[in-house]
């Protein structure tokens, strides 16, 4: 394992992500200088990191000696000057364009040779770089939470990012054992964009009153083998955070109907029904992790055309080993093809290759398969037929696909 005493990693912001990235880097042998504005915030971060190492020792995932060594590699500071000699500096402060620009400007003047990266989830890397005056050595490094565990890093090349800065960021993340995908600077990058239909199409099925939140969650887990259903997942992410990501991606992509926010989901926010953290969201949550659906609807019968029924049956034969009712198959097909369609739009828009999109969705969200792997298994003709027949059932054309020859699967 290589250590980098002379060229440590600098991290600005010791919150959820900054602390997680510090732990990931220290575990891989890197010395880390962690900066935040106040010492108590840093103390809280080191305490959290230390407890996580303790748990790893308890679970025999590492030895006490190794955990102590990793802990000792992280030093904290409230003086940004201390980050001046760092090889790479990752900014992980609050998601606010102006505050980020101020901080990046400041660090770029202090650390004149460092590659500077932002962990932003929703802001433009190109805009942050040019507003900060260090665009050529500025890139995006989008980690996933929890950063020590999640294997994916999206490395984002801004308009003016130099190839050497991008390569440096990719090599360093790989040296920490991460799988890296290179992504164009587009809204939501790969994961936060391609995952949108998993939530949105599910919310729309409830809005259409075809199925309940728990019915949809069960179906996606049963037929799709997703680890968690869309409603439980949004309750864990936070309905407010999920809605804000949807709004940001939708706005910045020019408001396509397929990514339009769900009215029903947005109505939870003013009521404070933000998910597990407030005790209520799509489900009510109690202290013992018991859940009951909090969105009660009167379900109506599903009526499908022969064309749609036929293609749903064909798609399910190819896409799942599990049998289900016609309603379950409809839910699974509608949500899945929404994800596949968004992945195709992402390829069409030059976000990333189909291979990288598959990798990102499996590692960044734990999807059982990548959207293009699914499409290949189902057959592109069937995917196209499913999109066309679903589009006949909606008034907003949201199942329109990009031209298939522009996005052929692999």
- 172-211 binders of ligand NAD (CB under 6 A): none
d(CA 17, CA 93): 9
User: What ranges make up the beta strands (E) of 36-165?
Assistant: 74-77, 88-91, 115-118, 138-143, 152-157
**In the block, which residue shows the tokens 């507003």?**
131
Q: Which residue in 114, 126, 154, 285 is the catalytic one?
A: 154
List, edge to edge, every strand of the sheet that includes 32-35.
Answer: 74-77, 32-35, 9-12, 88-91, 115-118, 138-143, 152-157, 179-184
Out of 78, 145, 267, 305, name the contact with ligand NAD by CB under 6 A: 145
Q: Calculate the CA 251 to chain-centre distance.
A: 17
Tell me if residue 142 is catalytic.
yes
Please say which residue, 92 or 139, places its beta carbon nearer to ligand NAD: 92
Please say which residue, 99 or 326, places its beta carbon nearer to ligand NAD: 99
78 binds ligand NAD (CB under 6 A): no
149 binds ligand NAD (CB under 6 A): no
103 binds ligand NAD (CB under 6 A): yes
CA distances from 289 to 82, 124, 285, 292 (A): 43, 37, 6, 10
119 binds ligand NAD (CB under 6 A): yes
Please say which residue, 103 or 336, places its beta carbon nearer to ligand NAD: 103
d(CA 132, CA 105): 5
For the chain, report the end-to-end CA distance as a whole number of angstroms: 35
Tell me if residue 192 is catalytic.
yes
| Helix/strand/coil for 353 | coil
Please say which residue, 36 or 201, places its beta carbon nearer to ligand NAD: 36
Size of the site for ligand NAD (CB under 6 A): 21
- Cα torsion angle, 90, 95, 100, 101, sign: positive
Please say which residue, 18 or 148, places its beta carbon nearer to ligand NAD: 18
Tell me if residue 318 is catalytic.
no
- 258-277 binders of ligand NAD (CB under 6 A): none
- 11-30 binders of ligand NAD (CB under 6 A): 12-18
- x/- contact string, 27-46, with ligand NAD (CB under 6 A)? ---------xx---x-----
b/e map 398-408, b = 16+ CB within 10 Å: bbebeeeeebe
Q: Which residue in 27, 108, 119, 121 is the catalytic one?
A: 121
d(CA 255, CA 25): 38
Tell me if residue 290 is catalytic.
no
Site residues, ligand NAD (CB under 6 A): 12-18, 36-37, 41, 92-95, 99, 103, 119-121, 143, 145
Active site residues per annotation: 121, 142, 154, 192
């Amino acid at each position: 394992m290589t250590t980098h005493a002379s060229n440590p990693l600098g991290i600005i912001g010791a919150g959820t992500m900054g602390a997680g990235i510090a732990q990931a880097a220290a575990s891989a042998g890197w010395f880390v200088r962690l900066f935040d504005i106040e010492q108590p915030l840093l103390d809280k971060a080191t305490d959290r990191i230390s407890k996580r190492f303790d748990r790893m020792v308890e679970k025999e995932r590492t030895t006490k000696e190794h955990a102590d060594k990793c802990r000792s590699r992280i030093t904290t500071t409230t003086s940004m000057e201390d980050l001046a000699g760092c090889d790479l500096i990752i900014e992980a402060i609050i998601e606010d364009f102006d505050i980020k620009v101020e901080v990046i400007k400041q660090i770029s003047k202090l650390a004149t040779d460092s590659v500077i990266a932002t962990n932003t989830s929703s802001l433009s890397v190109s805009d942050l770089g040019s507003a900060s005056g260090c665009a050529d050595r500025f890139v995006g490094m989008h980690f996933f939470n929890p950063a020590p565990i999640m294997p994916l890093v999206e490395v984002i090349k801004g308009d003016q990012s130099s190839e050497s800065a991008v390569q440096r960021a990719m090599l360093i993340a790989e040296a920490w054992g991460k799988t890296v995908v290179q992504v164009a600077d587009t809204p939501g990058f790969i994961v936060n964009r391609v995952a949108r239909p998993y939530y949105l199409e599910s919310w729309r099925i409830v809005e259409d009153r075809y199925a309940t939140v728990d019915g949809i969650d069960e179906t996606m887990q049963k037929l799709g083998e997703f680890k968690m259903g869309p409603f439980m997942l949004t309750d864990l992410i936070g309905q407010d955070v999920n809605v804000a990501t949807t709004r940001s991606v939708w706005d910045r992509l020019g408001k396509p109907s397929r990514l339009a926010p769900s009215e029903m989901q947005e109505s939870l926010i003013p009521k404070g029904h933000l998910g597990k953290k407030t005790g209520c969201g799509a489900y009510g949550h109690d202290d013992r992790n018991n859940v009951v659906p909090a969105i009660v609807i009167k379900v109506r019968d599903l009526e499908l055309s022969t064309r749609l029924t036929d293609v749903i049956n064909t798609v399910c034969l190819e896409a799942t080993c599990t049998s289900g009712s016609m309603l379950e198959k409809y839910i699974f097909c509608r949500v899945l093809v929404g994800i596949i369609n968004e992945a195709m739009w992402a390829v069409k828009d030059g976000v990333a290759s189909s291979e990288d999109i598959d990798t990102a969705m499996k590692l960044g969200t734990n999807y059982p398969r990548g959207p293009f792997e699914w499409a290949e298994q189902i057959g592109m003709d069937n995917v196209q037929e499913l999109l066309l027949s679903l589009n006949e059932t909606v008034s907003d054309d949201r199942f329109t696909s990009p031209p298939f020859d522009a996005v052929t699967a692999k």
